[in-house]
Amino acid sequence: MTVDARVRTIAIVGGGTAGWMAAAILARRLRKDFVRIDVIESAEIGTVGVGEATIPPLRLFNQALGLDENDMLRATQGTFKLGIEFRDWSRLGHTYFHPFGDVVSAARRLRASLPQDWLRIRSHGDHTPFEVYSLNTQVARAGCFVRPRDLDEEALNRRAAGSASLWSDFSYAFHFDAALYAEYLRKYAQARGVSRIERKVVNVELRPEDGFIRALRLDDGAQVEADLFIDCSGFRGLLIEQALKTGYEEWTHWLPCDRAVAVPSENAGPLTPFTRSTARSAGWQWRIPLQHRVGNGYVYCSRHISDDEAAATVLSGLDGTPRAEPRFLRFTTGRRRQFWNRNCIALGLASGFMEPLESTSIHLIQKGLTHLLNLFPDRHCAPVLVREYNRVATEEYERIRDFIILHYKATARDDAPLWRECREMSVPDTLAYKLRQFRNSGRVVRYGSELFATPNWLAVMLGQEIWPQHYDTLADQRPIDETRANLEHIRATIRDAAESAPRHEDYIARHCRA
């Protein structure tokens, strides 16, 4: 590589969560005398202003930046998240929990094979729910939280053997105000040399010879040139779509919701350490507790409900008084045909959209940045790098898409047209194959390095009441009474371990109150 070909300037268009996550990690990883980074954002356009629930890998991103987790939580009104409670998804009145943490490994350490041992005792009439084998779920249901590192050692030692090892598979993420998170990262990035240009981009100039982006024209007539452009401009995809005409692959035939209405409300009652998702007649409603308010919203399909009815549904189900007028958002589920096109990489809402049912959007920004740093180009953006980035990003998007479709497809609800349509729809082959395998013998097939692992698929497949026809016959090797006793021991160990966690509010008050 010649010195001349090095990327010397990066322009990031957009100052939402995506733009400032990009600026922060690039500023951390690239020396400022090596690369100049500009973020262009327009106060007039603003940000999407929603997005409050995250998943555990975000902790790695924060660690890569060297952030102090408690400081970040104080600055963003954050709380802890142990998983998602799903209400009325499989059928009205039914509830299940999709926890973080690895129930399969935790049980393996205690010499049990999940779900096979559980399926076996179930076939012998024991209907204890699967979720009693998850420490995350039990701590969440008790309204408690603790970071394992803060567990009182003495308390741990007093408890049953095995309790300590259970905590190593315990996992957590955060609920926070994503706008405050972006602001927090903005300060971080600016302190490391990133320059912020508060202007509107009015034109994107392409190089005639190869169609690469050459420069951005701003509304004051100034021009920003760069070697590499990161499009974080939100749904509009200012660079990737409006300028480069990359194209969009729609998934609305599988994920028909196309609108959301968001309403924050006052906190009333204890801070639950989990997100709640309640299926409604035309979509689903989220509830996300932050320190200063509760985030609520209804993701719905406009073919089945009007905006006014959707807003009335959310307003009628709030725990406390609303703190703002309902805000409506429109979206089309799907992805850009290429996430990286020429010298432009799209991140965040500019790259595609999947509804926030499993809180995956901010994670996809993080993954995009990881891949970009792994495949960091020179100014020519070699097609081989671009191709690899698009391959892994597509794989990630599609596997998450399958996981979200599973929630809609595996329902017994027939009380509303949306659910009847979803029950009947055909699903992507990759998901259909997984479902066949699981229905046969409770086995979870995984593709490559997909985000959701066996415990996640198990929680949602069993939660949505998909019952395997058989269990693995190897589970029959042990006498049934031994398997029963072993599982009972695990349940008791988990109950014991869960009791050592303090209440979620008390933990926040002690460590990270805003």
Ligand X SMILES: Cc1cc2nc3c(=O)[nH]c(=O)nc-3n(C[C@H](O)[C@H](O)[C@H](O)COP(=O)(O)OP(=O)(O)OC[C@H]3O[C@@H](n4cnc5c(N)ncnc54)[C@H](O)[C@@H]3O)c2cc1C
- Please identify every residue annotated as catalytic: 81
Widest pairwise Cα distance in the chain: 79
Can you give the C-alpha Rg of the chain in angstroms?
A: 24
Stretch that binds ligand X, among 71-79, 348-356, 430-438, 472-480 (CB under 6 A): 348-356
Q: Summarize the chain as % helix, strand, coil (round to 5).
A: 40, 20, 40
Q: Does residue 50 bind ligand X (CB under 6 A)?
A: yes
Quote the least distance from Cβ 348 to ligand X, whole Å: 2
Do you know the residue count of the chain?
A: 514
Q: Does residue 88 bind ligand X (CB under 6 A)?
A: no
Query: In the range 8-47, which residues lie near ligand X by CB under 6 A?
Result: 13-19, 40-42, 45-47
Between residues 82 and 232, which has the closer beta carbon with respect to ligand X? 232
Residues 6+ apart with CB under 8 A from 512: 69, 70, 71, 73, 74, 78
Between residues 233 and 486, which has the closer beta carbon with respect to ligand X? 233
Going 266 to 271 to 277 to 281, the CA torsion angle's sign is: negative
Quote the least distance from Cβ 37 to ligand X, whole Å: 15
Dihedral class, residue 283 (left if φ above 0, else alpha if ψ from -120 to 50, else beta): left
Q: Which two tokens stand for residue 422?
A: 């979803």
* Rounded Cα–Cα distance for residues 24 and 281 (Å): 41
Q: Does residue 217 bind ligand X (CB under 6 A)?
A: no
Quote the least distance from Cβ 135 to ligand X, whole Å: 24
Q: Does residue 279 bind ligand X (CB under 6 A)?
A: no
By the 8 A CB rule, do 238 and 44 touch? no
Quote the least distance from Cβ 200 to ligand X, whole Å: 4
Q: Does residue 60 bind ligand X (CB under 6 A)?
A: no
Q: Does residue 459 bind ligand X (CB under 6 A)?
A: no
Between residues 197 and 512, which has the closer beta carbon with respect to ligand X? 197
Q: Does residue 334 bind ligand X (CB under 6 A)?
A: no
Query: In the range 165-194, which residues lie near ligand X by CB under 6 A?
Result: 178
Stretch that binds ligand X, among 51-59, 394-402, 406-414, 421-429 (CB under 6 A): 51-59
Q: Does residue 83 bind ligand X (CB under 6 A)?
A: no
Quote the least distance from Cβ 326 to ligand X, whole Å: 12
Q: Does residue 422 bind ligand X (CB under 6 A)?
A: no
Quote the least distance from Cβ 443 to ligand X, whole Å: 30
DSSP 54-106: --TTHHHHHHHHT--HHHHHHHHT-EEE-EEEEESSSSTT-EEEEESS-HHHH
Q: Does residue 224 bind ligand X (CB under 6 A)?
A: no
Quote the least distance from Cβ 116 to ligand X, whole Å: 33
Quote the least distance from Cβ 18 to ligand X, whole Å: 3
Q: Which of 116, 277, 359, 464 binds ligand X (CB under 6 A)?
A: 359
Other residues' Cβ atoms within 10 Å of the Cβ of residue 294: 26
By the 8 A CB rule, do 364 and 451 touch? no
Quote the least distance from Cβ 49 to ligand X, whole Å: 7
DSSP character at residue 477? G
> What is the 3-state secondary structure of 172-232?
CEEECCHHHHHHHHHHHHHHCCCEEEECCEEEEEECCCCCCEEEEEECCCCEEECCEEEEC
Q: Measure Cα distances from 402 to 12, 191, 253, 429, 457 in Å.
A: 30, 40, 13, 9, 11
Stretch that binds ligand X, among 138-146, 163-171, 355-363, 371-379 (CB under 6 A): 355-363
Q: Does residue 451 bind ligand X (CB under 6 A)?
A: no
Q: Does residue 112 bind ligand X (CB under 6 A)?
A: no
Between residues 262 and 501, which has the closer beta carbon with respect to ligand X? 262
Q: Which two tokens stand for residue 48?
A: 């999407």
Site map for ligand X, 246-265, x if CB under 6 A? --------------x-x---
Q: Which of 23, 204, 232, 393 binds ligand X (CB under 6 A)?
A: 232
Which amino acid appears at position 94 of this protein?
H
SS3 43: coil
Q: Does residue 51 bind ligand X (CB under 6 A)?
A: yes
Between residues 42 and 113, which has the closer beta carbon with respect to ligand X? 42
Q: Which of 341, 361, 366, 493 binds ligand X (CB under 6 A)?
A: 361
Residue closest to 455 by CA, chosen among 84, 101, 136, 57: 101
Q: Which residues bind ligand X (CB under 6 A)?
A: 13-19, 40-42, 45-48, 50-54, 178, 200-201, 232-234, 236, 238, 260, 262, 297, 329, 331, 348-350, 356, 359, 361-362
